[in-house]
Amino acid sequence: MSGHVELRPGAYADSVTLLQVSRAVQGVDGVAAAQVAMATPLNVEVLTQMGFDVPSDATPNDMVVAIRLAVDGSLEAALAGVDAALRDANRRTTEATDVAPHRTTATALRELDGGIVLVSVPGASALVEAMDALDAGRDVMIFSDNVPLPEELALKRCAAERGLLVMGPDCGTAVVGGLGLGFANAVEPGPVGIVAASGTGCQQLLALLSHAEVGVTSALGVGGRDLSTDVRGISTREAMRRLDADPAVELIVVVSKPPAADVADEIRAYAATLGTPVELALLGPGQPDLTAAAEAVLTRLGREVPRWPVTGRVAPATTGRFLRGLFVGGTLCDEAMLVAADALGPVRSNIPLSPDLALGPDLTAAAHTMVDFGDDALTAGRAHPMIDPTLRLDHLARTAADDDTAVVLLDLVLGHGTEPDPGAPLATTVAAIRQPVVIAVVGTDADPQDLDRQVRMLAEAGAEVHLSNAGASRRAIELTEGVR
């Protein structure tokens, strides 16, 4: 095979567009691998790990085209494929419409009535757009990540003064008025209202409750830092207040990554002042996992707790020493670490439970490890791994090649906004892995990816598939303990 790398200075396309271009080029006859991306430090690192020699003078303002040809491949045909895919992407985004687009958020808001403003721009630019929305008296959902903490605080304090709600930053999932926003699962309306300082934690609850035939009226994301010592639950309180005022909500559930302990106490005290019952699903040492929280919700509603489905069965590991978890969901990664730490001891991670357990930049260690590929540091200049799985798939192959790996634990998150067929590339990689693989598939029967089909693909590839992430984690621990 031969490789080709070239820089295109000043050329720009967003990460999702370049993902589509890369996939189109990979389909060209004679192309063994292709990556077209902006030359951010993270993307350059990924390309280097793939064996491409990226010029040292590459900058984030350069588009890098990296192609590996099969023996019979034509570089001319491959580059023509790149150009054609870029032209097609540009044509789709510049087709004429009857209505000229607004140039700023402020001018758009002067002409449009009502509704939530959704901000999805690079994090460094989110403050201005979100503040324009608040100035217009609108609630705002900030999908953008990498928003500086002081800017989040400024937005939320401004919103609190005006009785408005800031959802986010890094608010990946919401259900408002029956409409899913971001990475939302398709669910029926029902008696539960969710406040979520966690995107995939919210999605796990949506999936489990849907399996138990319990619907959700609203799911208001507030951003993963909202229950931190700095932010102190500003948006969480406003979201709880709104759900308490909604007559359709019979039970409020607050779900979060591990919160600051004193802030969690403040939220418990605030919950006691509301007229609507509140179930707290706040992850942390000694706290119930998300599946236990879903079961508590069902019990409080007087509903039967079902058996959570498991498809496929893997044998215990026979080699290796360590459990290795690779996640697209940060809260699912947190939950798995909390479950595993009780049984296996310390777990190293890029989002560690304590600073002394932090992984280095190569995301590897001679230890039990859990990696969140959706962390801000791994999405700078790249699409989220629920959209672009390249980074995780590459790391998965290297993890499986490590003789110290005993068991592999993964998640796969379905819903609107995510990959249209995420199980297919994952199943291909899983089929080549010799170690036991356990996967939590988070989704509902109404999701566009077809939950049953995704589960079946992964099971046929040799994985054991769970709907409950906590259940998958415990099974992976059991398999790891077997070999130990």
- Considering the domain architecture, whether residues 333 and 476 belong to the same structural domain is answered as yes
Read off the pTM: 0.86
Domain limit, last residue, from 300, 328, 357: 300
Whether 305 is covered by a domain: the verdict is no
- Considering the domain architecture, whether residues 280 and 342 belong to the same structural domain is answered as no
Please report, in tens digits, the pLDDT of each residue of the chain (484 residues total): 678 999 999 888 877 788 888 888 888 888 988 889 888 888 888 888 888 999 989 988 899 999 999 888 889 998 999 999 888 877 765 554 555 555 566 666 655 666 899 998 888 889 999 999 999 999 999 998 889 999 999 999 999 999 999 999 989 899 998 788 889 999 999 999 999 999 999 999 999 999 999 999 999 999 999 999 999 999 999 999 999 999 999 999 999 999 999 999 999 999 999 999 999 999 999 999 999 999 999 999 999 999 999 999 999 989 999 999 999 999 999 999 999 999 999 999 999 999 999 999 999 999 999 999 999 899 877 888 999 999 999 999 999 999 999 999 999 999 998 999 999 999 999 999 999 999 999 999 999 999 999 999 999 999 999 999 999 999 999 999 876 5
Segments forming the whole domain that contains residue 243? 105-300
Which ranges of 176-287 does DSSP label H, i.e. alpha helix?
199-211, 234-244, 261-271
Whether 95 is covered by a domain: the verdict is no
Whether 115 is covered by a domain: the verdict is yes
What are the φ/ψ torsions at residue 326 (nearest 5 degrees)? -130, 115
The per-residue pLDDT for 100 is 55
Domain limit, last residue, from 90, 124, 141: 90
- Considering the domain architecture, whether residues 258 and 374 belong to the same structural domain is answered as no
Angle 149-153-158 (CA atoms, 0-180°, nearest 5)? 150
Domain limit, last residue, from 279, 300, 321: 300
- Considering the domain architecture, whether residues 262 and 187 belong to the same structural domain is answered as yes
Q: How far is Cα 195 from Cα 324, in angstroms, rounded to an integer?
A: 30
The enclosing domain of 452 has a CATH number of 3.40.50.261
Q: What's the Rg (C-alpha) of the chain?
A: 23
Which ranges of 212-305 does DSSP label H, i.e. alpha helix?
234-244, 261-271, 290-300
Whether 111 is covered by a domain: the verdict is yes
- Considering the domain architecture, whether residues 73 and 112 belong to the same structural domain is answered as no
Which residues make Cβ contacts (< 8 Å) with residue 356, sequence separation at least 6? none
- Considering the domain architecture, whether residues 113 and 198 belong to the same structural domain is answered as yes
Would you state the structure tokens that stand for residue 259, as one six-digit string? 């919160």
Whether 99 is covered by a domain: the verdict is no
Q: How far is Cα 213 from Cα 207, in angstroms, rounded to an integer?
A: 10
